[in-house]
A and B are shown apart, each in its own frame.
Chain A
Amino acid sequence: MLSIKNLSKAYAKSNVYAVSNLSLELRPGEVVGFLGSNGAGKSTTLKCLTGILPFSIGRININGYDIQTQSLQAKTSLGYVPDNHFVYEKLTGIEYLNFMADMYNVPRDLRRQRIEFFAHKFSMMDKLASNIKSYSHGMRQKICVMGSLLHNPKLWVLDEPLTGLDPQSSYRLKQYMKEHAEAGNTVFFSSHVLAVVEQLCDSIAIIDNGHLIVYDRLENIKSKLGQDANLEQIFLKLVDKTYEEGGYYQA
């Protein structure tokens, strides 16, 4: 579903690689968590794979299409929820959703059905006619999520999706992420909330200073790094050189 091979990306005004030689293979039906410290390269990787950020080294294939050479076909297969929730705030919710549906060629009846379905799911039905500018942070997040799902993407990419959501919406989003994967699609999301990642994901990828240091199924990681350790301890053990097991807690 998603294949990243030897991806390297350095920003124009920097000599440092934000992502270096990163390779990943995501299979259909999986929920994959993407972890890393601030500035580790998560968002850069997600922006590269969604076609937002150009890159010169490596290849990214989505649903069999190269994101650089067959970008339109590749983009048609993916839905993306950015971390900043920037949407056209001068549009109303329904105008934004119609715009996104037009971009992904979602027919009228189907879009109506899906918009209503997601609007009910995320309690947004009575907000759709309002300007996005008037939305709260969580509501903007929800409209972004809805916009990214209208075309039922094969690959659903979410950057920090649970930030700002109320408990009810957070629960529903997590449920839907699972349902979407169970329907044969792939869900790839970044998060700092390790408990959620642990609860939700089949596989986990951890990036540190632009390098992928772990990508495996959660149970495999645990069996290698300590069966009793939770994800937080595993993460810290892998990315924090100053961490010593139990050290933080003892201090």
Chain B
Amino acid sequence: MKNFWTFYKLQLRLLFKIDRSNTQSILLWIVLPITALILVGFFSFSVFGVGLVIRAEGYYEEVGYRFLSPIISFAMIAILVYSVGFMISRLYAGNDTQFVLSLPLSTTAIFLCRLFAIITLIFSLAVLGLTPILMAYGVGLGASALYYALIPLILVFAIFFPLAIAAIISLPLRFLINYIKGKNVLALVSVLLLTIGGIAAYIAFFVIIWGGGGVFDLGLGGEENGYAPNINLMDSIMPLIEQFERVLPFTTLFSNGLMDRGTLFLNITLVLAIVVALFVLLYTVGFLGYKSIIRGSLESDKKDSGGRALKYKQSSHFKALFVKEIRDMFRQPIFAFYCFYGILVMPALIVLITFMPTFDNTGSGGMFAFLAMVLFVSGANYVASATFTKDGKQFYLNCLVPVPFSLIIKTRLVYAAIFSSFGFVFGCITAVVVGFIPWYGAVFALAFFLLYNTGLSAISIALDLRYPRLNWNSLYEGLKNNPSTLWSMLIAGAFTIIAIVPAAILYFALSTLAMWLYLFALAITFLFVATYILFASHKNSLQRIEF
């Protein structure tokens, strides 16, 4: 037990210690608290305001504690993001595996010490971050003493759920992270993006709450300022709360208990049961993952080289080329930025459309806007349209290696199609959440987009092989001067018109089925034509390349 305690303290010290020799690490430790402080300040102020308004407008009974669901959900998302980082870097990874296994401690004890240290760290951060927000809401709302008494339990609940999820998703992520160089820079950029995202969420929050676009106008300016007192708090805020309650129903346990004291005991018991279950899940998944990772690291081929293992793994041509594409993308930040931009812009645009004051997302308009947007934005697929341009002067290796060039093209097509499909997958999920299409419509849309996107990737690769920009000095310059991306977007634009206009006519004149049949026929034809062009033209295109 003494050893356990000593090792736990060591883990804590390692977690909280700042590497002063590493500038990136110092920057991270400066940026992190400042980011957290700004976000906590923003959110405390806004939830305090919400609490005040709810109380002032007399909706204490109807809304009151139910607003805890969005607060707890947001907290869980934030904790999840940070937990994943800690799980990867502190729980599953570590260059001290051999050393700690030589200590008089069992593997279980080592794992538990690491896990408890992470829980301690996350709990400390959550107490510092979430407590002011919960307190501010309570003060604004004029909450009962019981609410304040339950705050520690809310904290525990809000921490264990994301921790258990983080333990699961950080296992595959840990393997992916091996492909990434400059992890501290990546962490720093992620934190900055999170800050910007947080502030954007804050602004969006205020747009909804304070009626910037007429969605929820409290009429605070009064009639004399030209604002109609279009106040209907329930109509405006309740869909938001209900949305969170639908997605994460267990976050309602606290509000249910607080609003109906008769069920308080039952709800608190349920909370405790869920926390215990989550801890068991966290421990089981985490420990199995940890054991598998240390077994892997101890039994794999090792040849010490600068402290890192050298692997001599043999792969097929396809796999080797595929892995090289992944590494090429993830290790060139500017290229990765363009590639991820194409993916992230889709759900972002869908959400933005919903903010348009006059837009009605409940009818067919939402579906057609969604389809058209995804079809057009798919054109910004840099993975395909810059696949050879990004090689630059290294392009010669494609011609040198004794592998059919058609296989190189096939690999790049598969990779581009898979990677860019994340964009419309996220797009479909977002579209279902915001109500643009029903879930079964999303299934049709996914299949349709998959066919279309593979075809578009093929034609983009064919264009890039025909007109590659290989003589660049910086990749940014190469990507900027690459005409294939523009052509891809023009093709995507043309396809959008050819697809959407007749589809809309079929939808209104005949049926939804007729519309989907037309879209699928179009996408399949496009896929065949595009892949034929790619594979029929590649030899000719290759002959034209001289460097």
Contacts and interface: CB of A to CB of B under 8 A. Distances in A.
A108 B404 CA distance: 22
B397 interface: yes
B302 to A, nearest CB: 11
B324 A128 contact: no
Interface stretch (B51-59, B183-191, B327-335, B502-510): B327-335
Given A75-B400, A86-B393, A126 B305 contact: yes
A22 interface: no
Interface string B373-413: 00000000000000000001110110111111000000000
Contact of A102 (B316, B331, B394, B396): B316
B314 interface: yes
B314 A108 contact: yes
Given A75-B401, A125-B305, A102 B314 contact: yes
Contact of A53 (B309, B310, B546): B546
Given A103-B402, A111-B314, A54 B324 contact: no
Contact of B400 (A80, A89, A91, A95): A80
A103 B181 contact: no
A72 B404 contact: yes
B311 A94 contact: yes
B313 interface: yes
Contact of B320 (A76, A99, A115): A99
Interface string A110-126: 01100110000000011
Contacts of A71: 402
Given A50-B400, A131-B181, A112 B312 contact: yes
A94 B181 CA distance: 15
Interface in A71-119: 71-76, 80, 82, 84, 86-91, 94-95, 98-104, 106-108, 111-112, 115-116
Interface in A27-51: 47, 50-51
Contact of B394 (A11, A72, A76, A86): A86
Contacts of B102: none
A95 B303 CA distance: 14
A129 B317 contact: no
A12 interface: yes
B398 to A, nearest CB: 9
Given A86-B394, A87-B394, A103-B402, A127 B315 contact: no
B480 interface: no
Contacts of B323: 99
Contact of A88 (B313, B328, B544): B328
A130 interface: yes
Contacts of B327: 88, 90-91, 95
B399 A91 contact: no
Contacts of B181: 90, 131
A52 interface: yes
B144 interface: no
Nearest to B539: A54
B543 interface: yes
Contacts of B394: 86-89
A116 B315 CA distance: 19
Interface residues of B, number: 39
A84 B393 contact: yes
B301 interface: yes
A80 B324 CA distance: 20
A128 B320 contact: no
Contacts of B543: 54
Contacts of A13: 546
A74 B393 CA distance: 23
B10 interface: no
Nearest to A124: B305
A32 B392 CA distance: 31
B475 to A, nearest CB: 10
Given A12-B546, A112-B301, A131-B181, A98 B313 contact: yes
B326 to A, nearest CB: 11
A104 B316 CA distance: 10
Nearest to A104: B402
A130 B392 CA distance: 22
Nearest to B329: A90
A52 B401 CA distance: 9
A111 B312 contact: yes
B399 A52 contact: yes
B281 to A, nearest CB: 36
Contacts of A50: 399-400
Nearest to B315: A102
B79 to A, nearest CB: 33
B20 interface: no
A101 B314 contact: yes
A12 B544 contact: yes
B314 A88 contact: no
B310 A103 contact: no
Nearest to B312: A112
Contacts of A101: 312, 314
Nearest to A109: B312
A116 B303 contact: yes
Nearest to A82: B396
Contacts of B305: 94, 125-129
Contacts of B544: 12
A50 B306 CA distance: 35
Nearest to B331: A90
A86 B315 CA distance: 23
A41 to B, nearest CB: 14
B306 A126 contact: yes
A72 B301 contact: no
A90 B390 CA distance: 12
B38 interface: no
B314 A107 contact: yes
A108 B312 contact: yes
A76 B301 CA distance: 27
Name which of B323, B397, B542 has the most chain A CB atoms within 10 A of its CB.
Answer: B397
Contact of A51 (B303, B324, B400): B400
B402 A88 contact: no
B2 interface: no
B17 interface: no
Nearest to B319: A102
A125 to B, nearest CB: 6
B328 to A, nearest CB: 6
A104 B402 CA distance: 7
- 5 residue pairs, one from A and one from B, having the closest CB atoms: A102-B320, A75-B402, A90-B331, A129-B308, A112-B312
Interface of B: 181, 301, 303, 305-317, 319-320, 323-324, 327-328, 331-332, 392-394, 396-397, 399-404, 542-544, 546
Given A99-B323, A112-B301, A112-B312, 20 more contacts: A13-B546, A47-B396, A54-B543, A80-B400, A84-B393, A86-B396, A86-B397, A88-B328, A89-B394, A90-B327, A90-B332, A98-B320, A99-B320, A99-B324, A100-B401, A101-B312, A102-B320, A103-B402, A108-B312, A130-B306
20 contacts: A47-B396, A51-B399, A52-B400, A53-B546, A72-B402, A72-B403, A72-B404, A75-B401, A80-B400, A88-B324, A88-B397, A98-B313, A98-B320, A102-B314, A103-B317, A108-B312, A108-B314, A115-B310, A127-B305, A129-B308
